């Protein structure tokens, strides 16, 4: 029986490195942001590679979800999801058929990083509200990016235990380069992860949050704290 892991992450996190980590397991297949085309089709947003994304993935959420529940011939099916892609019109029944997990990061770090690529992110852009919504309804393990970077082996072993899959030390490293499973948007966003061969060292530096975005960090903080209270410890 396949363990289907739906990993819900916000932007400016280590979500692609986490996908690399699970992809390094020989018993696992991965899928990269399978709801992205639906998100773009419904919102009309202009993102880099928009037309390629719309051509590469199902535009109907029902078709995307059917793929997430279809047989894959592997023990683990790791699904990398951006939480803001789960638009309100998408049905939620399928969330009961996967093992939901949550990758979180302190909002000050997220906002400081996001501000470098988008000047005015919103609370919905950060994904915390929907992460909390899914967690309240379905539960599941929570891991903090800082814990993963501080202690990859300990945190990932705890995550595997919570998901009911065996820990595999091969999750700690991977070959550099692009993968066939990477989204077609990889040329726009994945340069750093394509150079990587493992998780980056933890950086304890205080994030530089622009003053006009400090209120956004304050609004996100209680949502992050609710999830962080349940995070796995190495």
Q: What is the pLDDT of residue 100?
A: 98
Helix, strand, coil percentages, rounded to 5, for the chain: 50, 15, 40
Least confident range from 45-54, 59-68, 117-126, 209-218: namely: 117-126
Give kind and range of the element (H or E) at residue 76. Answer: strand 76-82
Q: What is the pLDDT of residue 146?
A: 97
Q: What is the pLDDT of residue 211?
A: 92
Radius of gyration of the chain (CA): 17
pLDDT above 90 (res 120): no
Give kind and range of the element (H or E) at residue 54. Answer: helix 50-56
Query: 79: which strand partners?
Result: 6, 31
pLDDT digits over 64-78, tens only?
999 999 999 999 999
End-to-end CA, the chain: 27
Q: How far apart are CA 230 and CA 189, in angstroms?
A: 30
For residue 191, give both structure tokens: 């340069």
pLDDT digits over 189-222, tens only?
899 999 999 999 999 999 999 999 999 999 999 9
Q: What is the pLDDT of residue 12?
A: 86
pLDDT above 80 (res 108): yes
Pick from 205, 150, 196, 165: nearest CA to 17 = 196
pLDDT (mean) for 37-62:
96
Q: What is the pLDDT of residue 115?
A: 82
């Amino acid at each position: 029986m396949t363990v289907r892991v739906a990993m819900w992450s916000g932007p400016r996190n280590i979500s692609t490195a986490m996908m690399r980590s699970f992809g390094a397991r020989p018993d696992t297949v991965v899928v990269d942001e399978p709801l992205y085309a639906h998100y773009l089709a419904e919102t009309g947003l202009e993102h880099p590679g928009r037309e390629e994304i719309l051509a590469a993935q199902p535009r109907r959420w029902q078709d995307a979800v059917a793929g997430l529940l279809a047989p894959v011939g592997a023990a683990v099916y790791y699904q990398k999801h951006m939480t803001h892609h789960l638009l309100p019109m998408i049905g939620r029944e399928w969330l009961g058929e996967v093992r939901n997990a949550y990758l979180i990061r302190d909002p000050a770090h997220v906002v400081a990083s996001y501000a470098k690529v988008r000047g005015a992110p919103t609370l919905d852009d950060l994904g915390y509200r929907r992460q909390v919504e899914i967690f309240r309804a379905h539960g599941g393990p929570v891991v903090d990016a800082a814990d993963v970077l501080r202690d990859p082996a300990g945190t990932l072993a705890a995550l595997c235990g919570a998901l009911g899959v065996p820990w595999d030390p091969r999750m700690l490293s991977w070959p550099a380069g692009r993968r066939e499973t990477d989204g077609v948007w990889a040329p726009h966003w994945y340069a750093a992860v394509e150079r990587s061969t493992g998780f980056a060292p933890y950086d304890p530096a205080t994030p530089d949050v622009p003053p006009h975005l400090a209120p956004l960090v304050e609004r996100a903080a209680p949502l992050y704290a609710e999830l962080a209270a349940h995070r796995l410890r190495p």
